[in-house]
Amino acid sequence: MRTYHHDAAPLAYAPPAVNLLLLGLSALVLGGVLALGFHGLASVADVPILGAVVRGMGKVAAVSLGIGVAGLIAAAVVHRLQSDSAKIRHKVRRALCHPRYGNPLRLREGELLPGVNCKDIGGGVYELTIEARSCTVEAITDAASAISTAVNGRFVRYAVTQTDAGVAHDKVVFRLEDVLVDPSLTFHNAEEMKPVSPTRLRVQDGADIDLTTSGSMLVAGKTRSGKTTGIIALLLQALQCGRDEYGSEVIVIDPKQAELSRLPHVVTLDEDGEAREILAALRWFAGSIIKRQRTLNDLSEQSGDAVKWWEAGMHPSFLFIDEYVALRSIFPPKAAKDSDYCVATFDNIIKRIVTMGASAGCYVIISIAEASVQEGGLPAMLRSAMSTRVLFRPTRSEALLLWDKTKLDTMPDRVYGPGDAWFSSTDGVHDAVSYVHFPRMEFPVYQALGQLLSEYYNNDPVSAPPAAV
């Protein structure tokens, strides 16, 4: 059926296997009734006129029984061979289009039915696309709960976890996955965390940060939300890839002078409480971007085509700024005479790194306690430029400062623990906001970070950034 009808037949949207099953059962019942009649009239089979009827009844019974058995076999074969994505498609289409399910799309008599397609994208995750024809994308989005309910039977553990309306407002893409499976990762030592490729950092099963398509990272979360530990999980992976021959860096800045500041090659405040050494480290990182980009430009001229940083064998560089807002507040509003030590200099360097670094494989990870963009907080320009965003122990009010409201409509309000986060990245896979749990690390995390930082710089203070020895 292509249009909506309030009096649609019960089996109007049934999958092929159901129709074959009912055909087979009906044929078996008919064949059984005819067979009983044939045996009942067998005594008159010799009567000239009635005998022909009885024999014909026997043949019809045999054919009906044959059709019934064939129908049951065909139903079993079709059901067996039908892909899971096709089964989900039929379930969803019936729930959206058949009037007995409440008409969740609020379709009117004779209106075109929406197109429904389902694709298996791997890892037990399905991408369900509903094309808006007579209905609006808003009505389709509101039907997320009806879709989750429709996916029953062996898919009862599946539910809608992401919703993404098409740019042209012509479709809505839902992400369906098993919500009872724990995709989080647990590591017992840092060596287990070494990534397969330097360009991909693992968050959990099915969720990676692809550095070839994403940019700098904004990570927000209140105290004891697991924010710093989650960032360290990413740095431990990057550090194990080793330093490349093009001057890659992993610079950690801790203005709080807390646990991180006790580690080797971590930059913290000066002895007088100022941040001049931090500013020097930022300049060092910005300078490394220029050198790496110059190398890429030379390689591009030699090859006659653009050479990406990962194609050149470069490893990613990271600048991790812990508690960005607290650090920014340390810089004076105006510089003293013959000095550029002020908040404007700090802002300009950070903006330059964030906007220009990704092309050279250089990324900033900014950590903030509150997802605020007001005066004294994170500048709106930086927030917009950070293409990977993470909110630990999220609340909807904080999330609205990081993402548009439409991206949060399907995110459930519940109690979250340390390591739980909402996550998005502009890599074409995780553009919609989703729930993730950052890796559990059952080993001394800070000790492992300090050891890997020392190994990364080969305990050589000359190769490390200023004041990070």
pLDDT for position 469: 47
DSSP 378-418: --HHHHHH--EEEEES--HHHHTTTS-GGGGTT-------T
Alpha-carbon distance values, 326 to 15, 64, 236, 268, 384 (Å): 59, 81, 24, 12, 20
Last residue of a domain, one of 41, 58, 81: 81
Does a structural domain hold residue 8?
no
Structure-token pair, residue 95: 């729930």
**pLDDT score for 43:** 53
Same domain, 52 and 158: no
Specify which residues 164 forms β-bridges with: 173
Distance of CA 267 to the CA centre of its chain: 33
State residue 371's pLDDT score. 65
Which among 67, 90, 102, 64 has a CA at the least distance from the CA of 12? Answer: 90
CATH number for the domain harbouring residue 425: 3.40.50.300
Domain that holds residue 98: 84-178
Co-location of 213 and 269 in the same domain: yes
Domain-located, residue 433: yes
Do residue 196 and residue 164 come from a single domain? Answer: no
Shared-domain flag, residues 141 and 211: no
Q: Which of 95, 116, 113 is nearest to 104 (CA)?
A: 95
429 and 314 in a single domain? The answer is yes
* Structure-block tokens of residue 303: 């090859």
The SS3 of residue 351 is helix
Q: Which of 134, 150, 178 is the last residue of a domain?
A: 178
Question: Across the 469 residues of the chain, what is the mean pLDDT of every consecutive 10-residue run?
Answer: 84 81 80 65 52 62 78 82 89 90 89 91 86 87 86 85 76 84 91 94 91 92 92 96 93 92 93 94 96 96 94 96 92 91 94 94 92 62 87 90 80 83 86 89 96 85 55
| The total number of structural domains that make up the chain | 3
Look at residue 293 and tell me if it is in a domain: yes
Closest by CA to 81, choosing from 139, 167, 20, is 20
For residue 355, count other CB atoms closer than 10 A to its CB.
14
- Residue 55 in any domain: the answer is yes
Which of 197, 387, 453 is CA-nearest to residue 310? 197
Residue 431 and residue 403 in contact, taking contact as beta carbons nearer than 8 Å? no
- Using the 3D structure, point to which of 60, 81, 102 is the last residue of a domain: 81
Encoding tokens for residue 368? 């903030």
Task: Write down the pTM of the prediction.
Answer: 0.74
Distances (CA, A) of 279 to 69, 354, 377, 380, 456: 80, 15, 19, 21, 22
Instruction: Kindly state the helix (H) or strand (E) to which residue 291 belongs, with its residue range.
Output: helix 276-303
| CATH number of the domain residue 166 falls in | 3.30.980
Which strands make up the sheet holding 171-178, listed edge to edge? 115-122, 125-131, 171-178, 158-165
SS3 (DSSP) at 95: helix
| Structural tokens at position 320 | 């991790």
Q: What is the pLDDT of residue 142?
A: 85
The answer on 191 and 223 residing in a single domain is yes
Q: How far is 171 from 115, CA to CA, in rounded Å?
A: 9
Using CA atoms, how far apart are residues 261 and 268, in angstroms rounded to an integer? 6
Buried b / exposed e over 104-130, threshold 16 CB at 10 Å, is bbebeeeeebbebbbeeeeebbbbbbb
Q: How many residues does the chain have?
A: 469
What pLDDT score was predicted for residue 404? 84
What pLDDT, on a 0 to 100 scale, did the predictor assign at position 197? Answer: 92
